[in-house]
Structure formats: C-alpha cells, structure tokens
Chain A
C-alpha cells in the first residue's frame, strides 16, 4: 500500500460517514420545514374562516354560556369535584351519567316500540278476524233472510192448505144444490141455506185472493199435468178426450207456484161412466 493510498482511505471514510449523512440531515430538515409551512397554510385558512364566522355572530353571548368564565369553573367544580380541575375540561361523570340515562331511555322506548308493534300486529290480526267475522255475519244474515222468507212462505202455504180442505167441503156442499129433492114447500128454505153456503164460499175465495191464492180452473178444461193430478178416468162420449169431467178437490196457485194440485177425473176413450 503507497503513502498516497493510506492518505486516501480516511478521506473516503470522512466522505461517506460525515458528509453524506450531513447532507441527508439537511435534506430531511428542509423537507419537514416545507411540510410545516404547508400545514400552517391550512390552519391559517381554517382560522381565518372561523374568525369570519365569529365576526358574523351577535355581540351578546348565547344564553347557555356563563357571562363570567369563573362561574363556569365554579359550576363545573360543583358537579364534578374530583375532575381534572380545569375550568374548561370535559365533564366525564356527567357525560357518563347522561349516556346511562340515554341508554335507559332507549331501552324503554325500544320496549314500548316493541309492545306497540306487537299490539299493532295483534290488532291487525284481530281486525282481519273481525273483517272475516263481519263477512261471515253478512253472509249469515243474508242466508237467514232467505231462510226467513222461505219459512214464511212454507208456513203460509201450510196454513192455507188446512183452509183449502174447508173450502173443498163448502164447494161440495154448494154443488149439492143440484141434487136437492125436497118437497116444494121446503125447497125454498133449503135453497136459502145453500145460497148462504155460496156466499160463504165467495167470501172464502176473496180471502184467498187477498193472499194471492187463486183456484185452478179444471172442469171442462184440458188435463194439465203441471197443475192437476188425475185420480181416475171416465168416458163421456160428447166430451173431448183428455178433458176434465169432474173435480174431486180443488187446486190452487200462489205467486206463480202450485200450492195444491187439483185432483180430477179425466175423460178417456173406452171406459163408460
């Protein structure tokens, strides 16, 4: 190794260990300073904005701020004596208490909400059932109405049937006039009696008419299986076939329906009366 080489080595070490590091430090320091300057610009702008906002406020302080900062300190120290002692520091105890209270409030509200929801659900279900019940009721009422009408019709028909038998008897009594063979002097009395029968029969028919019940005409008419029942036949040569020759019991119509079929004897060929 030459003397020059020996002298060059400490130079390289100095260059690497001192100069380069120094340069690096200078560079780093200058970078931070630059960044600080940039940060300061942001803060400065923010402060300026805030200052502008404060300028825009009224001169009088808001009601919730004490006039004197000392009062604020006194008030805080009363509520939180063990706290930091700083007149403007956060009151953690109050904060915690209010959080606990808030949580309780939320729980109560949640529970109430839950109950209300459940109540609403139950009410909805109840309302649904109620609607169903009302629909059922309306149907039942309608059905009952129809049943009532039917029952009234059937009851009226039943009552009428009983009276129709009585009318048959009156009609037969009146018809017997043709067979009366009393002596001349008594005939007048008998006929007066039968006239009374006829008047009673007329009254009866008027009463039936008021109940929309009318007799079915039979004798001399064509046999109609819809309104008459044939109970026997006879042969009357001078009458057309299929014509009713005799009524055994009267038939009646009511409101377009057969209340009672007439029972009749029908003229047919071949069977002599």
Chain B
C-alpha cells in the first residue's frame, strides 16, 4: 500500500516553507529560493493572482494590491480587497498554503492532501481554528497544528529523548521575536511560557545601520539623503549585506558609488559599532527571556538547552548575551531559517508512520579561542580567554576578532590557540602557539584574528595587521581529536581498574548458542571450514533429531581440532559434517 504523503508547513509572518520526508530525511523543498517563500499575496496589473516572491516584488509599488503579514490578522474579522473581491485572512493564508502545496506536489510527483502546520505558541484557539480552516480551503486536511517551539525541539531531536527536559527556544526573525520555554516529558512537549514582540526583528537592525550610514554621509559629505528614496533603497541593501558579513567579519567596508549625484559612500563599520547600535534591541529581547523564565517558574539553571531560531540569531551578540544571561551555550546547528519547517516535516513524517532519521547536525563540540590581556575577576590579567568559535556553532564556521597592540612599536604578538570554555586561558587546552612579527606602529594598532573551522576539524587561522595588510597563516589539523583521544585513553585506563564493570566490559552477551567458543576460534579457521560451520549453525534447527547430535559433535570436534592446530583432522571432520548437511533440506 502506498503511503499517502503528508507535508509539514511553517506558515510564518514574513516567510513560509514546506518540508517533506524524503528517504527518512526531512527536507525543505526549494524553488530557486533556498525554500524560503515570502508570505505575501497580491494581484498584478493584469488581474493575475500572484503569491510569494512575485507578490513581494510589487508590494512597495502597489501596496493596495498586495497583502503582507496576514498571519497577524488570523482569527479576526479583517477583510482584504484584491481586485474586485474581498477575502478573509483564512482565504489569503489558503492562497499561500495552496502555493506551498503545489510546490510539494511538484517535488513529490503526486497529489498532496494532508499537512501539519505550525503556529506560534501564543495563538489562541480561534487563531488555530482559522489556520485549520485556511488549510481546508487550500484543499489540505490539517492532521495536526503544532506550536513553532515544539517544531524546533522536534528538529533538534529533543522529543525522542527519555529524560525530562526544559528547553528555551529563542526565535528572532525578520520582523518578529518570540521566546518560549517548553517542557518535554516522555516525548510529550508542553509549552510552559511564551512571550515576545511581534514588531521586533532583523529589519530593525537594518534600519539602525541605514541611520548610521545617513549620519556618516551628513557628517562627511554635508548632504542629507533621508528623503531620497533611491539612495535609501540602495543604503538599505548595503546595510543588509553588511549586517550579514558582520556575523563573521569584525570590520566591513560599505562602498556605494553614485549614491546621490556626485556622492560616493565609503564607510567602514566594525562589529563593535554595529553591536552598540542594536544593543538596546537585543537587551529588550533579554527582558522577554527573563519574563518567560518567570512565567514558567524556572531558574536559568533548570534549562537543559537553548535553541536559536530565525535568521537574526546569526548575529554573534545574540548567543553571547544569551550565554551570559543563562550560563548555557545556545545551539544553532540547524539552519535557523528552516528549523521550524524541518520540525513540521518531521511531524508530518511521523503522521505517515515513517521512521525519521535524526537531523544531521555538524557543530563544533568545543570552543576555540585565543588569549589576550584583559580583565579577569576584577583585575588585569595577561591570559584572558577570548572565544572566537563557540561550542555548538554550525560548521563550517568563520569568526574574526580584533585586538590592539599594547605598546608603541611592539615587535611581536604571541597568538595562542586554545580549546575550552574557561575564562582563564591557562585552564584551557593550548593547541597551538604562533609568533606574529609586527610592523612598527603606535600602540593601539589593530590586529584581526580570523579562525576558519571546517567539518574535518581543520582550523585555519589568519592574523592580519589592519593598516599594512601584513598577515601570517597557520593550519591546525584534527582539532576535535586533541581532547577526544585523551578521554578515550582515560576511559580505557579507568576501565582496566574495574574489570567487573559491565559498562566497560568487552564480553559479548550470551546468545544461548553453545557452538561458538568464547575464545573465538572462528578467527583462526580456514575460510572453507568457517563456512561449513556457519552452514551447520544455519541448518541445525532444520536437522532431524537423530542428526542433531552428530552435527553438534562434529562442530565441537572441528573447533577443537582447530584450537589444537590440527588442520588435517579438522578438514576430514568438516567433510563428514558437509555430507550430513547435504541431506538436510532448507
């Protein structure tokens, strides 16, 4: 019987995605768009219904013919006019769902009629019912409505664990922010608290950066481009690109020619400056995190995991602040833009009765950083640990940090590579040391240090003098096994002290078969004899009772002959055994 396909849909405020389990692996279905489709519906100049990117393209020019963020209106009496028709939020959502359904049908190669849809944890029953109705209008039987944080936990395989877990899901998207705390008990996910701000997201960070650039132009060129829409549009694109680059790089140069007549922009932005711009916004999200913990009646210490969802969580400041507040390193192994959709896909796969493989997450198990002069426990200290690539970061990863020379004409800087999490670098494991001979420069000259870590545990580092461009490079291999080997060796050592310890025992469990000797002579048997013994083991249950004893005796004799290193006798006995086996029907 062919299993009827079930799809998982993340019906988001800004973007939506659809996932399906192909070969036991959930995959977000793409259509030249990384699988991310704007949650946008419109009517074009020719009266044609357009959904997704096409509708989003015309939103600025024809806002009256375009519907954005319909999710915020689900369950209300709002009516949208497109062309000469009125539509409810459910009907608009149905158009998005129908487009995703068609996309899935193309990929699967057959009709799709069943779906799992995600909604925010704070959605009321009315809003959930409206979502269910939207599915029905789109021709989908909604088998289940699941909460977005639950989907995220599913994607990270949390629902399949036996022990009780408390997980915080921090979801910072393009235009909305949600924080939820879920409790997972025997595979059942319960949302303990959910709060957020549905007007806060990555677009606010872009605007902050645009404002900075406008200030820069005012200051350096004496021109105010605030009311120049073309300049504003170009600055917004540049700001968005710079924001993304600043997640990996410490400095970004934004260069735009002809921003306005006879005006070219060239402006360097450091991560520090950007983080100062957005700090009030991130701090606001931290207040929501604290509120969610209060609502759930939990202390940060009770949290077992912090999951990052939404593209804006790629900003390093987010994980750093969360780590500082909660004393737990957040995880972002799965693409934060697709995490909820993948969770919905996993649930859809379960509805189909499929065994879902856990998502393959390539993350670094250790933090890698360097040491620098700084403050530790209120006093100056020469070996403060500065993490660059933090534990649980998705691989491959690139991070850059900036440092300054301490004295004029400093001759050299030692670059130490550490693995660990202790604030005192000397308490971590040092896996490399390099000396960077510096050019003559005043104190405070900037040196950037970049780490590139790949899936194979190869750490490439580059130190660069910002002013001169002088660099040194180094490559460290097998950085994951540097401490892993130590652990396995220690385990062997400890195991040797506890010979009776079951956990460390290497003995195979008893199978009830008397025929396979414990010392494992099969390993020294000629392949032909080993094959006959295997055949005998297979045929033994089928043998008549009068032959069974003969077979068992022969097998034991053969084994014994092998142990006694008597291949001739073993061979002859094997021939006798083979004669008996010939007459046993399979």
Contact = CB atoms under 8 A, between A and B. Distances in A.
Nearest to A233: B61
B582 A111 contact: yes
Residue among B56, B233, B261, B579 with the highest chain A CB neighbour number at 10 A = B233
A83 to B, nearest CB: 33
B109 to A, nearest CB: 15
Contacts of B42: 225
Contacts of B258: 169, 172-173, 175-176
A266 interface: yes
Given A118-B535, A268-B61, A225 B50 contact: yes
A52 interface: no
Contacts of A225: 42, 44, 50, 54-55, 57-58
A200 to B, nearest CB: 14
Nearest to A232: B229
Contacts of A164: none
Given A173-B257, A223-B45, A225-B55, A248 B234 contact: yes
Given A118-B535, A265-B230, A179 B262 contact: yes
Interface string B224-252: 00000110111001000000000000000
B578 interface: yes
Given A223-B45, A230-B58, A257-B32, A176 B261 contact: yes
Given A229-B57, A233-B61, A257-B32, A114 B45 contact: no
Interface in A121-177: 169, 172-173, 175-176
A246 B570 CA distance: 92
Nearest to A118: B535
Nearest to B66: A225
A261 B262 CA distance: 26
Nearest to B578: A111
A103 to B, nearest CB: 11
Residue among B55, B56, B58, B262 with the highest chain A CB neighbour number at 10 A = B58
A212 B372 CA distance: 52
A248 B230 contact: yes
Interface residues of A, number: 34
B61 A111 contact: no
A65 to B, nearest CB: 39
Interface in B38-56: 42, 44-45, 50, 54-56
B136 to A, nearest CB: 29
Given A107-B579, A172-B257, A234 B229 contact: yes
A94 to B, nearest CB: 26
A233 B32 CA distance: 27
Interface in A208-253: 222-223, 225-226, 228-234, 242, 246, 248-249
Interface string B45-86: 100001000111111111000000000000000000000000
A263 B582 contact: no
Contacts of B229: 231-232, 234, 265
A110 B582 contact: yes
Contacts of B210: none
Contacts of A113: 582
Nearest to A175: B258
B581 interface: yes
A226 B58 CA distance: 9
Nearest to B582: A114
A219 to B, nearest CB: 13
A187 to B, nearest CB: 16
A90 to B, nearest CB: 30
A114 B59 contact: no
B322 to A, nearest CB: 32
Contacts of A230: 57-62
Given A179-B262, A248-B233, A226 B54 contact: yes
B462 interface: no
Contacts of A242: 45, 61-62
A118 B234 CA distance: 75
Contacts of B233: 231-232, 248, 263
B230 A266 contact: no
A222 B50 CA distance: 17
Nearest to A257: B32
B297 to A, nearest CB: 47
Interface string A40-80: 00000000000000000000000000000000000000000
B575 interface: yes
Contacts of B44: 225
B579 A111 contact: yes
Contacts of A228: 57
B60 A231 contact: yes
A228 B55 CA distance: 11
Contacts of B535: 118
Contacts of B58: 223, 225, 230
Contacts of A257: 32
Nearest to A265: B230
A111 B56 CA distance: 78
16 contacts: A111-B578, A113-B582, A169-B257, A172-B258, A175-B258, A176-B258, A223-B45, A223-B58, A223-B61, A231-B60, A232-B60, A232-B232, A232-B233, A233-B60, A265-B229, A266-B62
Top 7 A-B pairs ranked by shortest CB distance?
A230-B61, A232-B229, A231-B233, A266-B61, A172-B258, A225-B58, A225-B57
Given A225-B57, A230-B61, A231-B229, 13 more contacts: A111-B575, A114-B581, A114-B582, A118-B535, A169-B258, A179-B261, A225-B42, A229-B56, A230-B57, A233-B60, A242-B61, A257-B32, A266-B62
Interface of A: 107, 110-111, 113-115, 118, 169, 172-173, 175-176, 179, 222-223, 225-226, 228-234, 242, 246, 248-249, 257, 261, 263, 265-266, 268
